[in-house]
């Protein structure tokens, strides 16, 4: 809301939201969102704030990093498709963390680490979360339509990611793996600037 209000220059709305934010979030919480200050793409910033707030409210241990200023993403990828992928990746990490905490009774058994990064015009997103020991499902199985580790739930999350990725296969690389008790998801968008470099 604050980002949208700022974009429309609604000063009174921004002031009200800032007042509300200051009253609702303590100093410790605000420190946890520090990395988002480097994100200047409204949609990327919004999805990060939304999911970090969810992690914080669920008391799931997490870290988020964005050490460089991000002002745009490669234009050949639709921002809404990208945000959908990031949202799915966060939601999967949050849900698995909730299940892990429920099974162990210990919030510290879960952990989510996420980051945005940009260099030479590309864009990278990485997120990993702890999973139950002994989980060795193949990523190929995880991305199949209809597959899910959840009861009474159709597996559409990573299958949806696969569909979006297929539209941008020349520019978007997605990898995920399960290893040593972690599920890791990585996305990279590579700008189409090879021809410019050749000139």
Q: In this structure, is residue 18 part of a structural domain?
A: no
Mean pLDDT (whole number) for 14-39: 64
Query: Which structural domain, as residue segments, surrounds residue 175?
Result: 33-198
Report the candidate in 3, 6, 16, 14 with the shortest Cα–Cα distance to residue 44: 3
Residue 61 · residue 31 · CB < 8 Å: no
CATH at residue 57: 3.30.565.10
Name the more confident of 188 and 23: 188
Residue 71 pLDDT exceeds 70: yes
Q: In this structure, is residue 80 part of a structural domain?
A: yes
Mean pLDDT (whole number) for 70-80: 88
Per-residue pLDDT, 170 = 73
The model's confidence at residue 70, banded by pLDDT at 50, 70 and 90, is: very high
> Which of 35-39, 53-57, 135-139, 148-152 bottoms out in mean pLDDT, i.e. has the lowest?
148-152
How does pLDDT run across 117-176, given as a tens digit for each residue? Answer: 999 889 999 999 999 876 655 554 445 444 344 433 333 456 666 666 666 667 888 888
Give percent above pLDDT 90 in the chain: 36
- The H or E element spanning position 84 is helix 79-104
Q: In this structure, is residue 64 part of a structural domain?
A: yes
Q: In this structure, is residue 133 part of a structural domain?
A: yes
What would the DSSP string read from start to end of 3-63? HHHHHTT-HHHHHHHHHHHHHHS-HHHHHHTGGGGGB--HHHHHHHHHHHHHHHHTT--EE
The model's confidence at residue 98, banded by pLDDT at 50, 70 and 90, is: very high
Q: Calculate the average pLDDT of the chain.
A: 76
Residue 74 · residue 123 · CB < 8 Å: yes
The model's confidence at residue 54, banded by pLDDT at 50, 70 and 90, is: very high
Name the more confident of 3 and 199: 3
Q: In this structure, is residue 7 part of a structural domain?
A: no
Q: In this structure, is residue 11 part of a structural domain?
A: no
Name the more confident of 108 and 5: 108
**C-beta atoms surrounding 48 within 10 Å:** 22
Q: In this structure, is residue 186 part of a structural domain?
A: yes
């Amino acid at each position: 809301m604050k980002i949208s209000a700022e974009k429309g220059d609604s000063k009174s709305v921004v002031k009200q939201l800032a007042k509300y934010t200051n009253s609702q979030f303590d100093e410790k919480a605000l420190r946890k969102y520090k990395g988002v200050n480097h994100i200047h793409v409204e949609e990327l910033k919004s999805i990060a704030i939304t999911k970090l707030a969810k992690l914080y409210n669920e008391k799931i241990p997490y870290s988020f990093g964005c050490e460089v200023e991000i002002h745009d993403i490669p234009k050949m990828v639709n921002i809404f498709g990208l945000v959908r992928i990031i949202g799915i990746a966060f939601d999967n990490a949050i849900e698995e963390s909730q299940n892990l905490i429920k099974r162990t009774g210990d919030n510290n058994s879960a952990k989510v680490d996420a980051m945005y990064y940009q260099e030479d015009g590309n864009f990278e997103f990485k997120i990993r979360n702890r999973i139950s020991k002994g989980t060795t499902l193949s990523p190929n199985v995880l991305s199949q339509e209809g597959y899910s580790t959840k009861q009474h739930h159709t597996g559409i999350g990573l299958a949806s990611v696969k569909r979006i990725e297929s539209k941008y296969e020349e520019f978007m690389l997605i990898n995920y793996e399960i290893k040593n008790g972690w599920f890791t998801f990585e996305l990279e968008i590579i700008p189409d600037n090879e021809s410019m470099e050749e000139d």
